Structure 1
Amino acid sequence: MTALAPARSSRRLVLAGAAVLLVALGLVALMVVRPSAATPSGGSSLSAPADDSVDAGFARDMAIHHQQAVEMSFIVREGTDDEDVRRLAYDIINTQANQRGMMLGWLEMWGLPKSAAGPPMKWMGHTFTPTGDGSLMPGMATDAELAALTAAKGEKAEILFLRLMTVHHRAGADMAQAAAGAARTDAIRNLAEGMVRGQQSEIGLMADMLKDRGAKP
């Protein structure tokens, strides 16, 4: 067994716990809001959007995007004892796991599949072709970058995490901005607007944290 095996085992247990949390959050979303027949305007948060809508596409793609942010946050919490970085990672885990649970819950509520049959980002008017390196959408880290983050410790892990998460957040904020302006349901519009504000705020925070460590974004 390698030296990394205990850490990987620990992370699997934590990620399993997060998966249970996401299922619970999705069930809560189902209990809080019940679907109704679509209104002629399609603007009500209770209206079920179409399978090819901005609302459904954003929910699917952002759920995947958030999943990786949560994974990277768990990884860095194992790689550093720095309280500021660990606190940021904890906030990202809680916020994005919660949002992911809501989006998957809405898809379930709307009777729509949780994964798209075609390539991602189509709802934004273009498609992103995954390159096979693990980066499924803009801003997502590659498999090699995730491996480097897992292997890194201390300040090296902190800097790599902050850089990767800054790129991740910038792309996520762009996606959320597009959804906020084009989604037809109140649920998606409101969530996307909150994502833009939250991720832009964290981008500024991470820039300061990188500066404190003598590193560039």
Structure 2
Amino acid sequence: MKLNRTQWASVTAVALAVLFAGGAVTVASADRDEAPRTPTAESADAGFARDMAVHHQQAVEMSFVVRDRTKDEEVRRLAYDIANTQANQRGMMLGWLDMWGLPKVQSGVPPMTWMGMGVDTGEDGELMPGMATRAEIEQLRKASGREAEVLYLKLMTEHHKGGIHMAQGCVERCVPGVERDLAQGMVDAQESEIKLMADMLKARGA
């Protein structure tokens, strides 16, 4: 029997419905068989949460410093946004470590080991990519006005570049889920802020 166009569409719809239903059952069965995995202390998930929490803390610190060193509303607004966003994200990552029953500091293991790379070691200890030295932060504390604005924008641009590098590492290595989604969100947001800070530096003749 030859099917007309309407009958053929109906048969196709039924076939697709059966196919998708079978797939849903398979996925559901897999979900029941595989319980959510708790990351280990050496995993990329835990390493990213620990290291990015430290990285974020410095961004929050620098943002609060520049807030008190300039009256420029554009810079103060950017600093507030960065401090607020990164403080909230830091809280989430430390909360995950608590939930996983893992330490927030892993003694004897250099930062970013989970990425298969080392960090700069000097008088400031082990600094992850993009992080400012104590001397640079002290310089920011002593600056004011346009000088403080330019220094903050330069330091935060480098800080964001280091943060993006680490967040991309999690996107590539972390288990799919909320943490990897957060890392991708960091990449997107900080790339956008780097472009904004480039325009702000240009406007200040830097």
Q: Quickly name the TM-score band, shorter chain normalised.
A: 0.7 to 0.9
Which position in structure 2 is the counterpart of 1:196?
187
1:213 is aligned to: 204
Over aligned residue pairs, what C-alpha RMSD do you find?
A: 1.6
Aligned identity (percent) is 61
Cα distance in 2 for residues equivalent to 1:173 and 1:112: 24
**Helix, strand or coil: the match of 2:175?**
coil
Letter in 2 for 1:179: C
Q: Which residue, out of 167, 182, 206, partners 1:176?
A: 167
CA deviation map 1:2-43 (0-9, x unaligned): xxxxxxxxxxxxxxxxxxxxxxxxxxxxxxxxxxxxx986xx
Contact 1:120 1:129 survives alignment (8 Å): no
Structure 2 unmatched runs, 5+: 1-31
Letter in 1 for 2:177: D
Paired residues of 1:176 and 1:196 also in contact (CA < 8 A):
yes
CA deviation after TM superposition for structure 1 residue 130, in Å:
2.7
Query: Does the 8 Å CA contact 2:49/2:94 hold for their aligned counterparts?
Result: yes
Q: Aligned residue for 1:104?
A: 94
Aligned 8 A contact 1:80 1:86 in 2: yes
Tell me if 1:144 matches 2:135: yes
- The runs of at least 4 aligned residues of structure 1 exceeding 4 Å deviation read none
* Equivalent residue in structure 1 for 2:42, among 52, 67, 78: 52
SS in 2 for 1:80: coil
Q: Taking structure 1 as the reference length, what is the TM-score of the superposition? A: 0.77
Distance 1:50 1:123, change over 3 A: same
C-alpha deviation, 1:129, in angstroms: 4.3
| Aligned residue identity for 2:138 | A
Structure number with greater Rg is: 2
Quick one: structure 1 residues 135 and 51, their matched pair in 2 at CA, closer, same or farther if it must change by over 3 Å? closer
- Which residue number in structure 1 is paired with residue 23 of structure 2? none
TM-score (norm 2): 0.81
Matched, 1:123 2:133: no
SS of the equivalent of 1:130 reads strand
Q: How many positions carry a matched residue from both structures?
A: 174
The answer to whether the Cα contact below 8 Å between 1:70 and 1:92 also exists between their aligned partners in 2 is yes
